[in-house]
């Protein structure tokens, strides 16, 4: 069986300099361990806000380590040093604009500054690469979505679409824990 390989990339000048500990990768690891029912392996990288280095790490994770999914965190705002989306688009084969649109839609439920986000997603070869926000709370909200007080989904979480996208890219069949996030697939794409 094809084991799911996930790349986690935290982009932060200050975390790479040791000013404070990186919170992005631990937040992603925690969320994935609660959400995924399918076995997976992780490759983690911490890089500064330098476009050539981000591009190099993304290419390494896809081209050499054959990751199916790469989640980046940090560097998606309008500041000069925020170059994660620029690096991601530079190495992309195709853009997946719906992911960025949905991330901003989810975040607008919490902060009006969500419109300042330049988060995006792309496909490179066999991999889906998604630029997530930098804050652990925002990472969880973006991946899981927004629910009302009764638990009804108000805005679908990004990850609901990720397993089917990876399946369409001929990657492994990924299952989730529905109490965290339900993976959506058309009936014809579901395993019995």
Phi/psi of residue 147, nearest 5 degrees = -120, 150
Question: What are the residue ranges spanned by the domains of the chain?
Answer: 4-189
Mean pLDDT, the chain, integer: 94
The third-level CATH classification (topology) of the domain covering 4-189 is: Molybdenum Cofactor Biosythetic Enzyme; Chain A (3.40.980)
Residue ranges of E strands in 37-132: 40-47, 69-73, 94-95, 121-124, 127-132
Whole-angstrom distance, CA of residue 66 vs CA of residue 48: 23
Paired with 121 in beta bridges are: 130
Q: Is 83 exposed, middle or buried (0-12, 13-18, 19+ CB in 10 A)?
A: buried
Model pLDDT for residues 143-157, shown as the tens digit of each residue: 999 988 888 888 899
- DSSP state letters, 120-183: -EEEETTEEEEEE-SSHHHHHHHHHEEE-TTS-EEEE-GGGTHHHHHHHTT-----B-TTT-PP
- Are residues 181 and 174 in contact, defined by beta-carbon separation less than 8 angstroms? no
**Which pTM does this prediction carry?**
0.96
What are the angstrom distances between the C-alpha of 16 and each of 39, 46, 119? 29, 7, 21
At 144, list the tokens: 């899981």
Give the model's confidence band at 76: pLDDT under 50 very low, under 70 low, under 90 confident, else very high.
Answer: very high
Model pLDDT for residues 95-115, shown as the tens digit of each residue: 999 999 999 999 999 999 999
Question: Which residue is it, tokens 């652990």?
Answer: 136
pLDDT at 1: 57
Residue 100's nearest CA partner among 77, 132, 144, 125 is 132
Other CB atoms closer than 10 Å to residue 134's CB: what's the count? 22
At 73, list the tokens: 């965190």
Answer yes or no: is pLDDT of 140 > 90: yes
Model pLDDT for residues 80-92, shown as the tens digit of each residue: 999 999 999 999 9
């Amino acid at each position: 069986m094809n084991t799911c390989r996930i790349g986690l990339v935290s982009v932060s000048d200050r975390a790479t300099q040791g000013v404070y500990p990186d919170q992005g990768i631990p937040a992603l690891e925690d969320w994935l361990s609660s959400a995924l029912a399918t076995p997976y392996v992780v490759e983690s990288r911490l890089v500064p806000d330098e476009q050539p280095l981000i591009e190099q790490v993304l290419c390494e994770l896809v081209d050499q380590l054959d990751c199916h999914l790469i989640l980046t965190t940090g560097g998606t705002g309008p500041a000069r040093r925020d170059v994660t989306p620029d690096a991601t688009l530079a190495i992309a084969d195709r853009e997946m604009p719906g992911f960025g649109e949905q991330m901003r839609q989810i975040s607008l439920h919490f902060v009006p500054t969500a419109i300042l986000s330049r988060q995006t997603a792309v496909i490179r070869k066999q991999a889906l690469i998604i630029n997530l926000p930098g804050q652990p709370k925002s990472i969880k909200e973006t991946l899981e979505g927004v629910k009302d007080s009764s638990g009804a989904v108000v805005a679908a979480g990004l990850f609901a679409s990720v397993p089917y996208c990876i399946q369409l890219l001929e990657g492994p069949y990924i299952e989730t824990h529905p109490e965290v996030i339900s993976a959506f697939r058309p009936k014809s794409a579901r395993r019995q």
